[in-house]
């Protein structure tokens, strides 16, 4: 019996050895290889090590033929009208109104237009404003480890982090891509204050976002860390610097002192 079991083990070992090796190309995250990522159906365990098979799968995605466009308007708020590229007079045959603003929504990685969030977002947008809303469906390519996108130039940065990156030489900078845009929405608390990209946007002066919780006036506005207020952070030369990790009113004041005449810095207000 033991000999028979050992023979089966050797046979399985031989089969597994004959299988092609799926070589690991790179680690996408310094943490655990398998991590939970929230998808359309809830949290799912994802392998964050990029393998040769992931690269092959990503390369199969053809953006010219496998990206689809769905038009929603107040006349068809729940059932889309497909806008097929290359079809003559497709817009004229649809509910598209050139006199109205057109909004594009693009779902995220491992997502689809049918995800609850996207369905609710389409509904909310059309209730708030009478627009042409086009949902971009790239779900065929969104299911893979999107290594092709990583290979492209970095284009946008949202709220470059402040804690831990104040004196870090690897912090975001304009030379990280051929052309970089930065959107600042949490100045002086968790986000950097000064312009960092080729173009920087400061909605609502960079820290007062409608719909976000307002903080009471207090000398100490927010703690950036649950630990000690003052902590040492290592600089590029290996030396330690004592940094205050509690956001104060003075930090907000500093965030407000922007120069509207600075080239490539834009300010806008939202509701």
Task: Please report the DSSP string for 204-216 in residue order.
Answer: GGGT--TTSPPPP
Does 210 share its domain with 125? no
CA distance 51 to 14: 23
Contacts of 67 (CB under 8 A, 6+ apart): 136, 137, 138, 141
Q: Which of 39-53, 113-127, 196-210, 253-267 has the lowest mean pLDDT?
A: 253-267
Q: Which helix (H) or strand (E) covers residue 256, if one does?
A: helix 249-256
* CA-closest candidate to residue 83, choices 75, 94, 97, 99: 94
Does 160 share its domain with 141? no
Does 144 share its domain with 157? no
pLDDT in tens, 38-58: 666 667 787 777 777 777 777
Helix and strand numbers (H, E) in the chain are 6, 16
Does 142 share its domain with 170? no
**216: confidence class by pLDDT, cuts 50, 70, 90:** very low
Please check whether residue 82 lies inside any domain of the structure.
yes
Average pLDDT over residues 185-193: 68
Please check whether residue 211 lies inside any domain of the structure.
yes
Does 262 share its domain with 173? yes
Task: Please state, in angstroms and as integers, the Cα–Cα distance from residue 190 to each residue in 85, 185, 197, 221, following that order.
Answer: 42, 9, 17, 12
* CA-closest candidate to residue 103, choices 90, 120, 121: 121
pLDDT at 82 over 90: yes
pLDDT at 35 over 60: yes
pLDDT at 126: 93
pLDDT at 258 over 50: no
Does 72 share its domain with 158? no
pLDDT at 190: 62
More confident residue, 128 or 13: 128
Average pLDDT over the chain, rounded to whole? 71
Q: Are 70 and 48 in contact (CB under 8 A)?
A: no
pLDDT at 254: 46
**173: confidence class by pLDDT, cuts 50, 70, 90:** confident
Q: What are phi and psi of 165, to 5 degrees?
A: -125, 10
pLDDT at 69: 96
CA distance 71 to 77: 9
pLDDT at 179: 75
The H-assigned helical ranges of 91-187 are 116-128, 139-142, 147-151
Does 211 share its domain with 261? yes
For the entire predicted model, the pTM comes to 0.50
Task: Please state, in angstroms and as integers, the Cα–Cα distance from residue 202 to each residue in 181, 187, 252, following that order.
Answer: 11, 9, 14
Average pLDDT over residues 83-98: 92
Of the chain, the percentage scoring pLDDT greater than 90 comes to 17
Please check whether residue 46 lies inside any domain of the structure.
no
pLDDT at 71: 97
Q: Over the Cα atoms of the chain, what is R_g? A: 25
pLDDT at 92: 92
pLDDT at 236: 47
CA distance 6 to 193: 66
Does 107 share its domain with 80? yes
Q: Which of 29-38, 43-52, 112-121, 246-255 has the highest mean pLDDT?
A: 112-121
Domain count, the chain: 2
Q: Which of 23-37, 60-74, 106-120 has the highest mean pLDDT?
A: 60-74
CA distance 29 to 50: 10
Task: Please state, in angstroms and as integers, the Cα–Cα distance from residue 168 to each residue in 198, 228, 253, following that order.
Answer: 20, 20, 24
Please check whether residue 198 lies inside any domain of the structure.
yes
Please check whether residue 48 lies inside any domain of the structure.
no
Entry field: residues in the chain: 271
What range defines the domain where residue 201 resides? 153-268
Please check whether residue 3 lies inside any domain of the structure.
no
Please check whether residue 42 lies inside any domain of the structure.
no
Q: Which helix (H) or strand (E) covers residue 17, if one does?
A: helix 2-18
Residue ending a domain, choose from 149, 176, 195: 149
pLDDT at 75 over 90: yes
Provide the 10 A C-beta neighbour count for residue 160.
Answer: 21
């Amino acid at each position: 019996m033991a000999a028979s079991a050992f023979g089966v083990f050797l046979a399985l070992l031989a089969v597994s050895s004959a299988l092609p090796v799926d070589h690991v190309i790179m680690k996408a995250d310094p943490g655990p290889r398998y991590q939970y990522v929230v998808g359309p159906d809830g949290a799912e365990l994802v392998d964050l090590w990029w393998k040769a098979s992931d690269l092959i799968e990503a390369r199969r995605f053809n953006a010219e033929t496998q990206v689809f466009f769905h038009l929603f308007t107040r006349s068809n708020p729940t059932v889309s009208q497909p806008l097929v590229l290359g079809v003559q007079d497709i817009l004229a045959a649809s509910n598209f109104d050139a006199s109205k603003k057109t909004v594009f929504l693009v779902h995220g990685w491992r997502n689809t237009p049918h995800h609850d969030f996207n369905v609710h977002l389409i509904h909310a947008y059309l209730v708030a404003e009478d627009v042409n809303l086009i949902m971009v469906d790239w779900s065929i390519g969104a299911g893979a480890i999107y290594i092709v996108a990583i290979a492209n130039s970095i284009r946008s940065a949202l709220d470059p982090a402040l804690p831990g990156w104040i004196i870090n030489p690897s912090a975001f900078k304009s030379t990280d891509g051929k052309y970089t845009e930065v959107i600042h929405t949490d100045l002086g608390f968790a986000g950097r204050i000064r312009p960092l990209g080729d173009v920087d946007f400061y909605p609502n002066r960079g820290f007062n976002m409608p719909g976000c919780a307002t903080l009471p006036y207090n000398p100490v506005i927010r703690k950036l860390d649950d630990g000690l207020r003052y902590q040492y952070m290592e600089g590029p030369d290996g030396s330690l610097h004592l940094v205050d990790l509690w956001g104060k009113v003075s930090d907000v004041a500093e965030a407000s002192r922007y120069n509207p005449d600075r080239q490539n810095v834009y300010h806008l207000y939202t509701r």
